Amino acid sequence: MSRTEPVFEVIHPGMLTTVQDLGRRGYQKYGLAVSGAADAHAHRMANLLLGNPVDAATLEVTLMGLKVRVLKPAVIAITGGDLDPRLNGQPLPMWSTVPVHPGDVIHFSGCKSGCRAYLAVSGGIDVPVVLGSRSTDLLGGIGGVAGRKLEKGDLLFAGPARVPADKVLRRRLHPDWVPQYPRQVEVRVVLGPQEGAFTPDGIATFLSSEYTVSTTSDRMGLRLMGPTVGHKHGADILSEGLFMGAVQVPQNGQPIVFLVGRQSVGGYTKIAGVITVDMPWLAQLKPGDTIRFRQVTVAEAHRLLREYERFFAAIKVWGSSHLSA
């Protein structure tokens, strides 16, 4: 494959489309976000279907509107939320590999479920690696295409495919393994690091109530609305590092859950952290959807993570030996 020939031309960028991989590590202590695909599971699965490394860059499409023209033959896979992807106007199967040809138009026409879809191409989206990652960081103005969201007229290139195109054609994920993205989710949390700053009532309220995702949510975090989580004294703490899934509660008692685009430090109390295996569900919530929180131990969270990675590894083995048509 020639690097000089683009694979896609952006006809319409949609609401928000960015290039993402699994994130930028090692720069949070300077204030740079990790970034990366908000739904890492869907991102990895799209790459897996195509035989790409799991951290190959994909396009993260938010809610609707991305339209690209195919400029050279390629194999694609679309995973994540069902944003009604179409190929030349016809429904395009998700969680499957699909060959595309010059002149084809891929269009995400609307949102049926979830919030974010991932469009992967064999070889991965090839943009320059900046500080160790291809991920777009809109605040830091780096990664992806010139550190910004996609615009009309952008040309996207694919890297060299690791697995020849004919070897990945007509692969699909078994329907039992295709996630459905409900508008009500329950996610598991580990309490801390400042659970002691909340009243027992505040913690009970947090663990028993339903919270609604507000319209001001984005890749940085989900701002929630619901019953007030009460503090003992106040919500201010000396600024400290923030972690993936941190549930911060400022003085107004309304939780904020931090996602991949989060700031690196914060000065408000955190009641809990969402466990790693449940983060992809959060990334697929949109305004009006609801969350409940359930407490687990750290040991349980780690057991679930090992189980998930075994599941993922099993799909890999299955994929490499039996997924080809």
CA angle 236, 240, 243 (to 5 degrees): 110
Contact between 146 and another protein per CB under 8 A: no
Residues for the chain: how many in total?
325
Least separation in angstroms between CB 90 and another protein? 41
Contact between 29 and another protein per CB under 8 A: yes
Closest CA to 81 of 38, 132, 49, 52: 38
Please give the full DSSP string across 212-258, using - where no structure is assigned.
EEPTT--SSEEEEESS---BSS-SEEEEEE--TTEEE--TT---EEE
Total number of residues that touch another protein (CB under 8 A): 44
Q: Among the candidate windows 24-32, 44-52, 78-86, 161-169, which touches another protein by CB under 8 A?
A: 24-32
Contact between 233 and another protein per CB under 8 A: no
Least separation in angstroms between CB 198 and another protein? 14
Among 99, 140, 226, 230, binds another protein (CB under 8 A): 140
Contact between 270 and another protein per CB under 8 A: yes
For the segment 65-124, give every residue that binds another protein (CB under 8 A): none
Q: What is the DSSP letter of 259?
A: -
Contact between 130 and another protein per CB under 8 A: yes
Contact between 138 and another protein per CB under 8 A: no
Contact between 236 and another protein per CB under 8 A: no
| Both structure tokens of 7 | 């694979």
Query: Using CA atoms, how far apart are residues 30 and 250, in angstroms rounded to an integer?
Result: 24
How do beta strands 211-213 and 221-225 pair?
A: antiparallel
Do the beta carbons of residue 168 and residue 74 sit within 8 Å? no
Nearer to another protein, 298 or 325 (CB): 298
Least separation in angstroms between CB 272 and another protein? 8
Least separation in angstroms between CB 155 and another protein? 22
Contact between 314 and another protein per CB under 8 A: no
Contact between 128 and another protein per CB under 8 A: no
Least separation in angstroms between CB 168 and another protein? 27
CA atoms within 13 A on the CB side of 216: 7
CB atoms within 10 A of CB 271: 25
Whose tokens are 């295996």? That residue is 277
| Both structure tokens of 16 | 């928000």
Least separation in angstroms between CB 279 and another protein? 9
Least separation in angstroms between CB 278 and another protein? 10
| Both structure tokens of 115 | 């919030």
Residues that bind another protein (CB under 8 A): 25-32, 130-131, 139-142, 147, 190-194, 238-246, 263-266, 270, 273-276, 298, 301-302, 305-306, 309
